[in-house]
């Protein structure tokens, strides 16, 4: 090659040439910098570099005494075989260790480089992770691949946003001139622009306060029920309602719709008109019950019991296995009630036995060594005029059960170190994953306390006994977790949903939550498929009960209908979106008696 391997690698470009190259790919640098910073925090003694298409290092994070520096050209013509130069030639990721590099200045390092592509799959840059031999963990290659995926997603998003801005600028100009209540949203419900009157109706002062929010945040929960896979696409009826700043339901109508994009990758923007008056629409108050999603008759009856229990202050005992959302049920009872105080939750099994009394009832200043100055208000006092949730009540020591029983009889407490009794108004909700009848027989739980607590009993069935709720719960969790992780909305493939319905879920909803969160994090696309699920779920028993089959079939029908609707009746496009052949899609259309013409 005519390259001296002993010459060294430090031949940076002049500052003017470097600045020119950085300007050419400034958009890539802007998207890559946060990713590079995150990667740089994890492996020790590493540095992260970004190169342009010519192999010039345009951005570096790390110790400057290492091999790469900003402005260095790492093409094969310049320094021989190296990960950056070879990746740019071969358009594939590459890892080199020590002597596999041509130049001797790289022989002490391990390097990993992955190409970065634009939305036309054209290579535009490369991301490099380099560290001294023996310091990079085995998962470093997965880390750098994930980083590139994030960068490419950011670039694709910005490309689409540029197209959207052209349309938005033309339409928002019109919106600002018209003195009506108008909203401009994209096909995922993201608010692009709003008129001044809309800001007033929804309780905002500035455009920046509402732009970027999702319109579903203002919809009554009845329009947001999560029974469909493709719920993250905003396809409401032509007339629907949103909630004003005073929770009044305001009638809305889609008055204009326009597409943008190229080929099959097209998106819609919609112009929504909002009436200033309710138009006799019922007022909708957000309810915590809406978070308890499910269609199983037992679950529906539980929600009815919650509503009835909320109207009174009677004690409630919630029974159910670990992970069956007992605390959410308790929270719903409190939120639906008229109580003005706080909801205070305490895990009776997590407090050391010698601290239970002071934690629940508090203590006076100087009552024991180490007591706080001014004393301590216990959980009972904190819940004054509210609700005290005693989780894992079966773990409470017997001596504390006696004190709790006394409180339930006279509603008074005594702080440690005080002779003065204080009467307080709180509601007690207890929960357990134990069989308290057996605990009574074993002598570890008081029978009289059991009957005091068990005025209203709510038994929450395990998830395996209401598998028809799994699609609904999974979609609800997917939406919530995507929002928490700041990820774009995802979907679940039919095959993955079948696996979720087949599994017995010993950890119940909590385990399902963890599985969905794991699949979301490990997924580079927008659809969760079987390979994203943990191995123990894919190995689960594949015998599906009848009600599970029905749940998955309804799920499949809804997803196919929604995809055809989104494709405006285009069967080829719908089949591509679903990842199946046209023949298979036609077979399913016939099976479900779906008429594609209705979506034209």
pLDDT tens sequence across 255-279: 777 665 544 455 667 778 887 655 4
Check residues 143 and 579 and name the one with the higher pLDDT.
Answer: 143
The pLDDT of residue 561? 79
**243 in Cβ contact with 201 (< 8 Å):** no
For the chain, the residue count is 600
What whole-number distance in Å separates Cα of residue 50 and Cα of residue 33? 9
> In whole angstroms, what is the distance from residue 570 CA to residue 582 CA?
11
Q: Residue 121 corresponds to which tokens in the numbers above?
A: 């799959």
Closest CA to 3 of 78, 96, 75: 78
* Phi and psi torsions of 344, nearest 5°: -110, 125
**3-class secondary-structure state, position 254:** strand
Tell me the C-alpha to C-alpha distance, in Å, between residue 510 and each of 86, 371, 507: 46, 37, 6
Quickly tell me which residue has 């580079």 as its tokens.
524
| CA 120, 123, 125, 126 torsion-angle sign | positive
Is pLDDT above 50 for 541?
no
What are the two backbone dihedrals, phi and then psi, of residue 163, each rounded to the nearest 5 degrees?
-65, -45
Q: Which of 242-246, 293-297, 351-355 has the highest mean pLDDT?
A: 293-297
Q: Tell me how far apart the alpha carbons of residues 600 and 594 are, in angstroms, rounded to a whole number.
A: 13
Where b means 16+ CB within 10 Å and e means fewer, 43-52 reads beebbbbbbb
309: pLDDT strictly greater than 90: yes
66 compared with 443, residue with greater pLDDT? 443
Q: What confidence category does residue 224 fall into, taking pLDDT thresholds of 50, 70 and 90? A: very low
Domains and CATH numbers, the chain: 15-158 (3.30.450.40), 178-274 (3.30.450.20), 297-460 (3.40.50.300), 465-599 (1.10.8.60)
- Stretch 283-306: mean pLDDT, rounded? 79
Q: Which residue's entry shows tokens 């880390």?
A: 143
Report pLDDT for 44.
67
Greater confidence (288 vs 134) lies with 134
Whether the per-residue pLDDT at 395 is higher than 80: the answer is: yes
Rg of the chain's alpha carbons, rounded to an integer?
30
Helix (H) / strand (E) containing 40? helix 26-40
Provide the mean pLDDT of the chain.
Answer: 81
- Per the listing, tokens 């049920």 go with 329
Q: Answer for the pair 314, 376: CB distance below 8 angstroms, yes or no.
A: no
Q: How many helices (H) and strands (E) does the chain have?
A: 21, 19
Q: Which tokens in the block code for residue 339? A: 């109580």
pLDDT band at 318 (very low <50, low <70, confident <90, very high): very high
Report residue 231's pLDDT band, with 50, 70 and 90 as the boundaries: very low
Please identify which residue in the block is written with the tokens 């085995």: 138
| Rounded Cα–Cα distance for residues 402 and 153 (Å) | 60
599 contacts: CB under 8 Å, gap ≥ 6 = 564, 565, 567, 568, 569
Is the pLDDT assigned to residue 497 strictly greater than 80? yes
Contact 550, 470 (CB under 8 A): no
**What span, in angstroms and rounded, lies between the C-alpha atoms of 386 and 370?**
29
Q: Pick the closest to residue 510 from 475, 476, 544, 463 (CA basis).
A: 463
The answer to whether 547 touches 578, Cβ cutoff 8 Å, is no
DSSP class of residue 460 equals P
pLDDT at 232: 46
Supply the pLDDT for residue 1.
Answer: 53
pLDDT higher than 60, residue 280: no
Q: Hey, how many other C-beta atoms are within 10 angstroms of the C-beta on 205?
A: 9
Is the Cβ–Cβ distance between 230 and 599 less than 8 Å? Answer: no
Helix (H, G, I), strand (E, B) or coil at 220: coil
Written in H, E and C, the secondary structure of 378-427 is CHHHHCCCCEEEEECHHHCCHHHHHHHHHHHHHCEECCECCCCCEECCCE
Position 225 scores a pLDDT of 39
Please give the Cα distance from 207 to 421 (Å, whole number): 55
User: What are the residues facing 116 on neighbouring strands?
Assistant: 125
What predicted TM-score, i.e. pTM, was given to this entire model?
0.49
- pLDDT at position 178 is 61
Lowest mean pLDDT of 64-73, 156-165, 571-580, name the range. Answer: 156-165
Average pLDDT over residues 425-439: 95
Position 369 pLDDT exceeds 50:
yes
The 10 Å CB-count burial string (b at 16+, else e) for 477-501 is: bbbebbeeeeeebbbbbbebbbbbb
């Amino acid at each position: 090659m005519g390259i001296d391997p002993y010459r060294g690698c430090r031949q940076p470009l002049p500052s003017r040439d470097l600045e020119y190259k950085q300007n050419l790919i400034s958009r890539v640098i802007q998207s890559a910098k946060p990713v590079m910073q995150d990667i740089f925090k994890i492996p020790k003694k590493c540095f992260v570099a970004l190169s342009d298409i010519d192999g010039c290092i345009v951005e570096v994070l790390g110790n400057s005494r290492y091999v790469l520096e900003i402005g260095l050209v790492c093409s094969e013509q310049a320094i021989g075989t190296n990960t950056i130069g070879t990746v740019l030639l071969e358009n594939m990721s590459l890892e080199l260790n020590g002597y596999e590099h041509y130049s001797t200045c790289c022989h002490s390092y391990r390097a990993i480089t992955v190409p970065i592509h634009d939305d036309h799959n054209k290579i535009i840059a490369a991301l490099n992770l380099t560290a001294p031999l023996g310091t990079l963990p085995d998962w470093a290659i997965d880390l750098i691949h994930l980083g590139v995926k994030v960068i490419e997603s950011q670039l694709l998003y910005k490309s689409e946003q540029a197209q959207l801005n052209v349309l938005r600028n033309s339409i928002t100009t019109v919106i600002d001139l018209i003195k009506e209540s108008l909203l401009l949203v994209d096909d995922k419900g993201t608010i692009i622009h709003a008129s001044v009157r809309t800001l007033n109706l929804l309780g905002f002062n500035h455009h920046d306060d509402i732009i970027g929010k999702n319109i579903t945040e203002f919809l009554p929960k009845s329009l947001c029920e999560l029974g469909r896979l493709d719920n993250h696409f905003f396809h409401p009826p032509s007339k629907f309602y949103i909630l004003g700043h005073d929770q009044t339901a305001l009638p809305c109508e889609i008055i204009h719709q326009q597409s943008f994009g190229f080929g099959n990758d097209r998106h819609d923007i919609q112009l929504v008109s909002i009436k200033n008056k309710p138009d006799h629409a019922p007022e909708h108050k957000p309810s915590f019950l809406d978070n308890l999603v499910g269609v199983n008759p037992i679950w529906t009856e539980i929600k009815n019991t919650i509503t009835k229990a909320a109207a009174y202050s009677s004690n409630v005992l919630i029974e159910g296995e670990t992970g069956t959302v007992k605390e959410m049920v308790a929270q719903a009872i409190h939120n639906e009630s008229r109580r003005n105080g706080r909801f205070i939750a305490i895990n009776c099994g997590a407090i050391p036995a010698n601290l239970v009394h002071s934690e629940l009832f508090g203590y006076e200043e100087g009552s024991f060594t180490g007591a706080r100055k001014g004393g301590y208000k216990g959980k009972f006092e904190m819940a004054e005029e509210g609700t005290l949730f005693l989780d894992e009540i079966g773990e409470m020591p017997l001596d504390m059960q006696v004190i709790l029983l006394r409180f339930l009889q006279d509603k008074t407490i005594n702080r440690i170190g005080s002779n003065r009794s204080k009467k307080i108004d709180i509601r007690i909700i207890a929960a357990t994953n134990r069989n308290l009848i057996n605990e009574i027989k074993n002598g570890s739980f008081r029978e009289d306390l059991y009957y005091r607590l068990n005025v209203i009993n709510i038994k929450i069935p395990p998830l395996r006994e209401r598998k028809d709720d799994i699609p609904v719960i999974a979609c609800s969790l997917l939406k919530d977790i995507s929002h928490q992780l700041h990820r774009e909305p995802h979907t679940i493939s039919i095959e993955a949903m079948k696996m979720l319905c087949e599994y017995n879920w010993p950890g119940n909803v909590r385990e399902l939550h963890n599985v969905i969160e794991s699949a979301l994090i490990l997924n580079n696309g927008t659809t969760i498929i079987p390979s994203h699920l943990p191995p123990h779920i894919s190995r689960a028993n594949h015998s599906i009960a009848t009600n599970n089959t029905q749940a998955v079939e309804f799920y499949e029908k809804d997803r196919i209908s929604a995809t055809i609707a989104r494709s405006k009746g285009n069967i080829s496009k719908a089949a591509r979106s679903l990842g199946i052949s046209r023949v298979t899609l036609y077979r399913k259309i016939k099976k479900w008696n779906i008429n594609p013409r209705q979506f034209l």
